[in-house]
Structure 1
């Protein structure tokens, strides 16, 4: 940002960059605790999406319109909304620069930009998504095309892909596959369709406790499982996908697979504005302490959600637990008090293994399972119709009317003094990294 330009400068207690789940939930949790805070939200989009619903849109359960609301309807009236994009961060000046020559000064900054879908990492994909049998539930508005392809495919080859970690909702690529297979099985077409799951990871799912249930569905649907097999290119005219496969001896080979339907999960990286800023770690993510969500260098900066480098699953369920922690710690920081609230790495992945049943994966740092319900009610390691009811009927209103409104049901922050000793250990791995 050139200093020679005349900048429109404003100052706030808190500036929040990003109006996705993480940004809006943090605003709600902050105002719940201190309603008189002056808060600015930086978010150029006019729409807000309930992204966990896109799997069900792609499976013919939800309508796309049910997953979208107007951004203006979700932002509290006391919050100043800047419909601009952040272009640079100046943490030494406590400033954020936006498009249209706007400069926002802050006492505290919350970075919640989400991540970037890197479609360009797959040769031949750009310009062909949403046609020729190529789809992705990760692309806004694309899930209805996924369902269209599922309904129309009578026979042939269907390939579902997963790139290297990190990605948001690590189970989503296989959720799409299971729902498609369930539809084809019920419609007595599955025997005519060759289904393959090509994952860059070395395991189907990163938390071993859930593998038996998932593998039982791989067998039920007769899915060919290709691990350490990463999509690198697409020949649209020939309808062939190119993969780089890593063998057991670490050697690699290039293989081609024909497809009639291809569900692509793109590589995912931090947004450019983060990667090019002083806030980023070597990989480009916002560099924070994984327990307090506070930046490792700049004490008045916090980050949560998909753009942060805490080694947790990048899911809305994680954000639901992170936002109250950020809110409490940020207010403590503003008042020169010790940061007491900690995030234990909780994440959840409701794996839609068939229409009407879900394997409810819940875990914390280190890949330790951490169920929200007693085992007699929901055993998360087994497919459950009650878990499906939770996903289909309960979680959407919980998202819109609780999480984004500051009602922290089952999300009260853990305080360090109350944390069991087995959770004091620093997280040492990203358990989503297969």
Structure 2
């Protein structure tokens, strides 16, 4: 119950504050040359880069949570292959030393006055602003949730409070339907709902329960995956493993007491389908950060309105954005954040010297599609949904090596590369491995 209460608030709590950082609670007015909103992957990466560019005393980060999580690993946590503890570290331990950590929540962003109001009443003025506030999970938009998580057999890898419920539902599976959903909204890590499905299928085979299980994937999308090269491979896997895929269906209600999930047919909204489940994995509806949505920085849909090549705001030139909070037309992943951080760093360095930004973000993102406990299809692509692969092999094929990249190498790159502002994606390695032709 306590965990669900936290889920409703979407507020994470954790460990202690390091002596290396100064925290702020009740000052009435502060001013920083560079203010970073958000202490997730994009915010920490850019604060580390800005510290090197401007000096620690000129940079502040607003972040209320005391724990920082490497969320991509939650796919493996939900499948029982990694521990939830391995995904988290204290915010203090990843915050660049000397940078001001303002441990509060953003209430309002006022780009006309170059100020940000926090929920404790503090107002911070800035010369330049980086918005890295992520997105909102909206479990409450599905009738019966989030309170439905109090019941067994339901989980979600999208929240630290519910990811272990996925593991419990999978391990307790006896017989019946294993149901996986994909929402009718923009989604962070759009491959994640499929990944846990493939892992669950593998787990049920390993434990001898697959013959008494029906694995079902309900997606709001008209395709299995947005890039045809990888979608073709995924369709082959789905057929080979006898997984039932239903397109253009959206989860609108969960009835946990009856173990039923209700889906609407998006091509005929008056038509609904009730599916009984023995296990249900929910990918929740998602939406823009509320502070961004309520500000002048938002586009019509509520996302941060930035230039897709430079990441500079379209109307306020001293404002920049990175990651899930933006309206960049590419999937929202940690790999995208890495590539964006290199471009944004270059953009800001040019703006500070009154030059025109000369580095362009091509939409690069990566989605390691985990298909079993030892194989991955490493999808990498750009804004045009064209493959942009790092390695000179066909990455649409299932690979053991790519699984180790996902499970072992990428977490190391995240903690010791991206968050320290040292990893800006694999572009340079891609060029070397492809002899300069990509």
In structure 2, the residue matched to 1:352 is 370
Indicate which of 104, 113, 124 corresponds to 2:144: 124
Partner Cα separation in structure 1 for residue 102 and residue 221 of structure 2: 39
1:266 aligns with 2:284: yes
Matched, 1:307 2:325: yes
Q: Is residue 200 from structure 1 mapped to residue 220 from structure 2 by the alignment?
A: yes
Is 1:21 aligned to residue 41 of structure 2?
yes
Give 1:35 deviation, angstroms. Answer: 3.5
Give 1:31 deviation, angstroms: 2.7
Q: Distance in 1 between matches of 2:301 and 2:135?
A: 13
Specify which of 229, 235, 260 is matched with residue 215 of structure 1: 235
| 1:6-51 deviation line (CA, Å, top 9, x unaligned) | 9711111100000000100111222344446611100000000000
- Tell me how far apart the structure 2 counterparts of residues 244 and 141 of structure 1 sit (CA, whole Å): 27
Q: 2:409 matched to which residue of 1?
A: 394
- Residue by residue, what CA displacement relative to the aligned partner does 1:126-171 show, whole Å, maximum 9, x if unpaired? 2112533111000113222211211111211110000124100000
Contact 2:390-2:427 within 8 A present in 1 as well: no
Other-structure match for 2:23? none
Give the Cα–Cα distance (whole angstroms) in 2 for the partners of residues 201 and 412 of structure 1.
30
Q: Is the 8 A contact 2:219 2:248 kept in 1?
A: yes
Q: Does 1:405 align with 2:427?
A: no
Residue of 381, 387, 397 corresponding to 1:382: 397
Q: Distance in 2 between matches of 1:99 and 1:237?
A: 38
1:293 aligns to 2:311 (yes or no): yes
Kept in 2, the 8 Å contact 1:324–1:411? The answer is no
CA deviation digits over 1:396-418, x for unaligned, max 9?
A: 111000111121264569xxxxx
Q: What is the distance in 2 between the residues matched to 1:34 and 1:332?
A: 13
Aligned to 1:129, what secondary structure does the other structure show?
A: helix
Q: For residues 350 and 151 of structure 2, what CA distance do their matches in structure 1 show?
A: 51
Residue 12 of structure 2: aligned partner? none
Deviates more, 1:307-316 or 1:329-338: 329-338
Kept in 1, the 8 Å contact 2:310–2:357? The answer is yes
SS in 2 for 1:265: coil
Alignment of 1:19-98 (within 5 A): 19-35=39-55, 38-98=58-118
What is the distance in 2 between the residues matched to 1:292 and 1:67? 31
Counterpart for residue 365 of structure 1: 383
Conserved 8 A contact 2:368-2:379: yes
1:220 CA drift (Å):
2.5
Q: CA RMSD in A?
A: 1.9
Asked whether the equivalents of residues 304 and 322 of structure 1 are also in contact (C-alpha less than 8 Å), the reply is yes
Structure 2 residue 354 is matched with structure 1 residue 339: no
Query: Distance in 2 between the 1:221 and 1:116 partners?
Result: 34
Match of 2:188 in 1: 168
What is the total number of aligned residue pairs between the two structures? 406
Tell me: CA distance 1:331–1:390, structure 2 relative to 1, closer, same or farther (3 Å). Answer: same
Shift of 1:243: 0.8
Query: Matched residues in 2 for 1:239 and 1:389: separation?
Result: 36
Deviations along 1:56-92, one digit per CA (max 9) or x if unpaired, are: 1011111110000000011112210000001001101
Q: Distance in 2 between matches of 1:409 and 1:339?
A: 17
2:5 matched residue in structure 1: none
Partner of 2:434: none
For residues 269 and 286 of structure 2, the distance between their equivalents in structure 1, rounded to whole angstroms, comes to 25
CA–CA separation in structure 1 for the residues paired with 2:136 and 2:424 = 30
Distance 2:150 2:197 in 1: 17
Q: Within 1, Cα distance between the matches of 2:191 and 2:206?
A: 23
Contact 1:199 1:226 in 2 (8 A): yes
TM-score, normalised with respect to structure 2 = 0.89
Post-superposition CA distance 1:171-228 (Å, at most 9, x none) = 0001010000001112221110111100011011011110122112212321111100
Structure 2 residue corresponding to 1:101, chosen from 112, 121, 127: 121
Q: Deviations over 1:285-314 (max 9, x none)?
A: 000110000111000000110000010110
Aligned match of 1:430? none
Which shifted more, 345-354 or 213-222? 213-222
CA shift, 1:331, in A, is: 2.6
Large movers: runs of 4+ above 6 Å: none
- The higher-RCO structure (CA 8 Å, 6+ apart) is 1
